[in-house]
């Protein structure tokens, strides 16, 4: 079994500009992974399957991971001019203030593939791919044409996470029913409110009905961009 | 009034548009396809599973499996509770083999934290794991034969042995099926010397049972006629489609995770990996029979020298269990195939991501490929030879 660095250089030698990055895993399992650029993922996958040294012919596990928008607040030291009155005279003084700044790191959906080799009996080699965001650019290339075992598992990821696999032969929901909206495995998923139907909703029930309605609309907007199946 | 005079009005065509796809209609038949929804309440589907089958006469020209009737989003529930709280829930995945589900989950968490397992616990895991495999294969064969029409006898023979094993499970863990036995870094309770003696006694009776079972079935003419050459799965497709377990080995691919990964202490035991040549239903049936024999070999070796000592690593933490950030994928050779757990920790008490790699679901990927061109009656057999449990397929 080659090390992850050797695999990376083998990919880069075979496919120039593949854009492979090593993602280190701090856990004792030591299972590091390779992050692929979605544009080259198909070519890289085909290479990994057909390469005589690696021969990763067995795709064991396909799954998705949701990384929502992260709000990071950090303390920054800022120096700025402040007008102060010193001894009755107005002066401009430089002062350093500690300020808390908030920024949001955009979220993304990640697809994870665990590969093994049946012939060479080694593995796992872990591939990861990221979508651009979690809302309207959620396409990733499907690896089902390379490994059939991704067929149902990618459908499951599409169903539960909402990653749209381009090039998948039969991309439908796998576990949820076809009329279902939204993707239940996302971190921000809210279960539909099963408030009782009231012909004239009022007070508490009206509020819950409105909240549910706006959630439905949001997921509809989100689905419009992504639903192709 | 004679029958000929009875006027039958032409029924209105209520079939959905585009059902009559010419590319699916075989050249022989009368050009009509019959769509049958086998399931979700079909006795041969082992639970709530549906196959939308398109038939030309009796020949299958299309088969679409439909999942999700038993879906409860196991993964989401597990992400909302602590690591340990998911352990009893894993029993409910493949409820025929709860021990191996426990084991796979414990193995994945042990990989994530670098936790070690005491020697005695490893032996107990192997003993219980092989007992599980034995009873799973026996009842799978029993069900397969029952679906062929031999109602009762082989299944009851299998269940008689299964009952002995479940009694042992009950004595050790307190439950026949929902055992909740393993912990991260060992096992929940220790086995008494009396339990080990009784296990040895039960295992001593196994080879006689397998002989009897094999004699009863192996050269049965009906079984051979129905199973041989039916549902052939080629080795290349099996590997490419991620098929694992006895199904993969029946297609002649030498891949047993007990040998490849040598997880636990499997590399200390001598056992063979049976392989099929044809990849048909008969091979899948025989592979299970032969694997039962290998399980007996492993059990005899493991029961010979169970070491003393604790069954839990004293350094293992049960309360306040927070693995360091990272991820791990742990897999074992479960009776159904490769059962894997993929965990991501963000340092919190709950797993950030908890994924089950269900062998039953992935083995069904090739169901259509195996069934095409066969009669509808064979679909039941081919499906039975895959060996699935819906608790694991739908999760």
Please report where in the chains the tokens 């041989």 appear, as a residue. Answer: B228
Task: Work out the pLDDT band at B146, boundaries 50, 70, 90.
Answer: confident
ipTM over 0.90: no
User: Contact at 8 Å (CB) between A79 and A98?
Assistant: no
The 8-class DSSP code of residue A120 comes to T
Instruction: Report the distance separating Cα B136 and Cα B389, nearest Å.
Output: 11
Cβ within 8 Å, pair A176-B327: no
Token pair of B322 as six digits: 């927070």
pLDDT for B200-252, tens place per residue?
Answer: 999 999 989 999 888 887 877 888 888 888 888 888 889 988 899 999 999 98
Alpha helices, H only, chain B:
74-79, 87-90, 98-113, 119-147, 153-173, 193-204, 206-217, 221-227, 235-240, 246-250, 257-260, 281-304, 359-363, 367-371, 376-386, 390-393
A190 and B CB contact within 8 Å: no
pLDDT level of residue B16 (50, 70, 90 thresholds): very low
Binary contact (B239, A152; C-beta < 8 A):
no
Q: Do B76 and A58 touch (CB under 8 A)?
A: no
- pTM for the predicted model, two decimal places: 0.83
Cα angle vertex B92, ends A178, B118, to 5°?
A: 135
Contact B328 A60 (CB under 8 A): no
Minimal Cα–Cα distance from A112 to chain B, Å?
10
Sorted by where each starts, the structural domains of chain B and their CATH numbers stand as: 19-66 (no CATH), 74-393 (1.10.645.10)
User: Three-class SS of residue A23?
Assistant: strand
Integer Cα distance of B148 and B125 in angstroms: 34
Percent of chain B with pLDDT over 70: 92
What average pLDDT does chain B have? 85
* Cα-based angle B273, B274, B277 (whole degrees, multiple of 5): 135
Tell whether A112 is within 8 A of chain B (Cβ).
Answer: yes
CATH number of A4-67+108-226: 3.30.460.80
pLDDT digits (tens, 9 = 90+) for A166-183: 888 888 888 888 878 888
Q: Tokens 């799954």 appear where?
A: A63
Cβ <8 Å between B242 and A149: yes
pLDDT tens, residue order, chain A (229 aa) = 678 888 888 888 888 878 888 888 888 888 888 888 888 888 888 888 888 888 888 999 999 999 888 888 778 878 777 777 777 777 777 777 787 888 888 888 999 999 999 888 887 889 999 988 888 888 899 888 888 899 899 999 999 998 999 888 888 888 888 878 888 888 888 877 665 566 677 777 788 778 877 877 776 766 665 544 4
For residue B199, the model assigns a pLDDT of 92
Q: What ranges do the domains of chain A cover?
A: 4-67+108-226, 70-104
Residue that wins the pLDDT comparison between B30 and B193: B193
| Nearest residue to A184 (alpha-carbon basis) of A166, A157, A150, A153 | A157
Establish if A58 touches chain B: CB-CB under 8 angstroms. yes
Whether A60 has its CB under 8 Å from any CB of chain B: the answer is yes
Which residues have CB under 8 Å from B87's CB, separation 6+? Answer: B102, B105, B106, B180, B182, B183
**Chain A positions in Cβ-Cβ contact with residue B325 (cut-off 8 Å):** 26-27
Across the interface, which of A26, A126, A148 has its CB nearest the CB of B241? A148
A116 beta partners: A58
CA dihedral of residues B93, B96, B102, B105 (deg, nearest 10): -40
pLDDT tens for B261-283 read: 888 889 889 999 998 888 888 88
Residues of B in contact with A182 (CB under 8 A): none
């Amino acid at each position: 079994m080659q090390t992850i660095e050797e695999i990376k250089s083998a990919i880069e030698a075979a496919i120039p500009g593949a854009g492979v990055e090593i993602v280190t895993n701090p856990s004792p399992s030591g299972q590091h992974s390779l992050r692929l650029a979605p544009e080259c993922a198909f070519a890289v996958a085909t290479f990994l399957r057909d390469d005589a040294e690696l021969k990763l012919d067995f795709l064991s596990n396909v799954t998705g991971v949701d990384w929502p928008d992260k709000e990071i607040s950090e303390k920054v030291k800022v120096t700025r001019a402040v007008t102060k009155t010193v001894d009755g005279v107005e002066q401009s003084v430089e002062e350093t203030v500690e300020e808390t700044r908030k920024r949001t790191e955009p979220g993304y959906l990640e697809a994870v593939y665990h590969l093994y080799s049946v012939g060479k009996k080694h593995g796992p080699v872990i591939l990861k791919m990221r979508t651009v965001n979690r809302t309207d650019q959620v396409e990733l290339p499907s690896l089902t044409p390379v490994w059939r075992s991704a067929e149902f598992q990618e459908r499951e990821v599409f169903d539960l996470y909402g990653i749209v696999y381009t090039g998948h032969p039969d991309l439908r929901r796998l576990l949820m029913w076809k009329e279902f909206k939204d993707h239940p495995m996302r971190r921000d998923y809210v279960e539909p409110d099963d408030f009782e139907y009231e012909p004239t909703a009022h007070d508490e029930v009206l509020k819950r009905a409105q909240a549910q309605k706006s959630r439905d609309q949001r997921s509809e907007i989100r689905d419009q961009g992504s639903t192709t199946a | 009034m004679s029958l000929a005079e009875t006027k039958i009005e032409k029924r209105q065509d209520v079939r959905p548009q585009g059902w009559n796809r010419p590319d699916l209609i075989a050249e022989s038949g009368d050009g009509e396809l019959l769509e049958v929804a086998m399931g979700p309440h079909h006795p041969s589907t082992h639970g709530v599973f549906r196959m939308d089958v398109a038939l030309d006469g009796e020949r299958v020209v299309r088969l679409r499996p439909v999942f999700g009737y038993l879906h409860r989003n196991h993964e989401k529930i597990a992400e909302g509770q602590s690591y340990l709280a998911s352990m009893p829930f894993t029993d409910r995945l493949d409820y025929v083999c709860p021990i191996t589900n426990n084991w796979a989950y414990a193995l994945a968490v042990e990989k994530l934290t670098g936790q070690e397992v005491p020697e005695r616990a490893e032996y107990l895991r192997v003993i219980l794991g092989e007992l599980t495999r034995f009873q799973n294969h026996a009842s799978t064969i029993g069900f397969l034969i029952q679906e062929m029409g031999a109602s009762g006898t082989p299944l009851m023979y299998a269940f008689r042995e299964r009952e002995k094993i479940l009694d042992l499970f009950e004595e050790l863990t307190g439950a026949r099926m929902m055992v909740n036995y393993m912990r991260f870094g060992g096992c929940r309770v220790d086995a008494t010397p009396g339990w080990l003696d009784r296990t040895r006694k039960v295992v001593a009776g196994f080879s006689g049972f397998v002989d009897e079972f094999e004699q009863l079935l192996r050269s049965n003419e009906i079984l051979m006629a129905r199973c041989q050459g039916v549902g052939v799965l080629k080795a290349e497709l099996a590997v490419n489609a991620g098929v694992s377990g006895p199904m993969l080995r029946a297609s002649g691919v030498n891949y047993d995770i007990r040998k490849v990964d040598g997880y636990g202490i499997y590399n200390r035991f001598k056992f063979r990996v049976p392989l099929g040549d044809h990849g048909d239903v008969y091979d899948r049936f025989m592979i299970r029979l032969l694997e039962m024999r290998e399980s007996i070999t492993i059990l005899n070796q493991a029961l010979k020298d169970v070491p003393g000592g604790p069954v839990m690593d004293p350094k293992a933490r049960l309360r306040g269990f927070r693995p360091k950030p990272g991820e791990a994928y742990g897999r074992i050779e479960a009776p159904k195939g490769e059962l894997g757990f993929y965990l991501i920790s963000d340092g919190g008490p709950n797993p950030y991501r908890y994924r089950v790699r269900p062998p039953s679901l992935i083995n069904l990927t090739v169901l259509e490929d195996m069934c095409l061109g066969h009669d509808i009656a064979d679909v039941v057999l081919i499906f039975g030879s895959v060996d699935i449990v819906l608790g694991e397929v739908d999760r």
